[in-house]
Amino acid sequence: MFFAHPARTVVMAFATVILGGAGLLSLPVSSEESGATDVVTSLFTATSAVCVTGLAVVDTGTYWSGFGEGVILALIQVGGFGIMTMASLLGLLVSGKLRLRMQLTAAAETKSLGIGEVRRVLLGVAGTTLAVELAVGAALALRFRFGYGETIAQATYSGFFHAVSAFNNAGFGLHADSLTRYAQDPWVTLPVAAAVILGGLGFPVLLELLRHRRRRLTTGRRNWSLHTKLTLITTAVLLVTGTVLTCLLEWGNQGTLGTFGWGQKLLNGFFHSAMSRTAGFNALDIGALEASTLLMTCALMFIGGGSAGTAGGIKVTTFAVLAAAILAEVRGEPNSAILGRRLEPHVLRQALTVALLGVGLVMAATLVLLTVVRAPFEAVLFEAVSAFATVGLSTGITAEVPVSGQLVLILLMFVGRLGPVTLVSALALRERTRRYQLPEERPVIG
């Protein structure tokens, strides 16, 4: 049966919530304008929210009513937390136990290693999400209240809206210019960046860090798993690399960093690097970036963040595994190894499959978009990568994309959120095991 596989259930659950959200956003009460919102706009917005992307064909802060913004915020939270994770948590709270099917489904969504860990993972995910969103929301609300003179209600709503959007790496904001008005305010950009980075690390990493922090306090030893080490190291390297390249490429650009002092340049270089890892907020005008910076940003967006978190892309562990395989091949070593651990061949195949499927999908989508969108190639490619990696950054062409192009972006966001391997496994009718080995022969490579 189609629903027998947990991954298929996750796919159908995401699709169901997207359609439900689109229906709510189509209601007249959801928009500030009179009449109902057209189906494609509602579907695009719902998909962008559930898939925590942030691309928008209409301005969130002016087009949607308070009810519509509430729907979008709920879709972001549900999409980031995970449809099946939330369903399993509700089942746990109501009945005090999880059925086997729900445990398997939650394991598929949270990437937990064993069914027995699901209960602990679910509670940890809920607690971590709540703690980070409350802390960042409170910090932003205080800044908006005392730094910008907003009312208590406005500051609280804006602070927690941006906190939820940031931790879930959604990139939805209440201002048409995203966060460019706060480009020189570290009390806004740094809390947002912190929430984005924490959400992008992935729940397994966050939970392991919390667990080993308590263990280190009692034993004095630190013993992180390979996944956690890879995620932290690769994330740090990409953040530093993105910051340095952004500053170097945009240092004299009067449309971006050129008018800032050196401190603001470093701040915004770091913020852009962090946001490129599937967050979608921008403090710089993306349309004014140099072509070289757009290409670098595309690379960061495509890599994305950590597995089983709110980030998109092919994930930093996939990138690290591929880098280890290349290094081993260059050295002539028979096995790939990283951080003192040997990598199994099936891990390399999985990483290669995810990366190549992502490249193929982005290239195919870019080709289609180029036939329907009147925009420079780099802007169209940037839009396609942003949609696939569920980032939400745009050079400003999203609203100009025709309906056919919007449908392509919707597909990219949906596949990018679920992951190519998850989607393929959900569509497969059954797993097949070959009971024989074919003769071996080596083709010429290169």
Tens digit of each residue's pLDDT (9 = 90 or more) over 282-314: 999 999 999 999 999 999 999 999 887 788 899
> What would the mean pLDDT of 65-75 be, rounded to a whole number?
95
CA separation, residue 168 to residues 48, 81, 165, 318 (Å)? 12, 8, 5, 21
Angle at 214 between CA 212 and CA 215, to 5 degrees: 60
Phi (first) and psi of residue 176, to 5 degrees: -65, -30
Radius of gyration of the chain (CA): 22
Reply yes or no on whether the pLDDT at 106 is more than 90: no
How far is the first Cα of the chain from the last one, in angstroms, to the nearest whole number?
Answer: 43
pLDDT confidence of residue 220: 52
SS3 content of the chain, % helix, strand, coil (to 5): 70, 0, 30
Return the percentage of the chain with pLDDT > 90, whole number.
60
Q: How confident is residue 12, by pLDDT bands cut at 50, 70 and 90?
A: confident
Q: Is the pLDDT of residue 255 over 60?
A: yes
Report the pLDDT averaged over residues 103-115.
60
Cβ-contact 271, 186 below 8 angstroms:
no
| Residue 78 · residue 126 · CB < 8 Å | no
pLDDT of residue 195: 95
21's tokens: 């959200």
What distance in Å separates the CA atoms of residue 7 and residue 422, rounded to the nearest whole number? Answer: 6
> Residue 433, Cβ neighbours under 10 Å: how many?
4
pLDDT of residue 206: 85
Identity of the amino acid at 82: G
- pLDDT value at position 2? 46
Give the mean pLDDT of the chain: 86
- The rounded percent of the chain whose pLDDT value lies above 70 is 85
The candidate with the shortest Cα–Cα distance to 125, out of 138, 111, 114, is 111
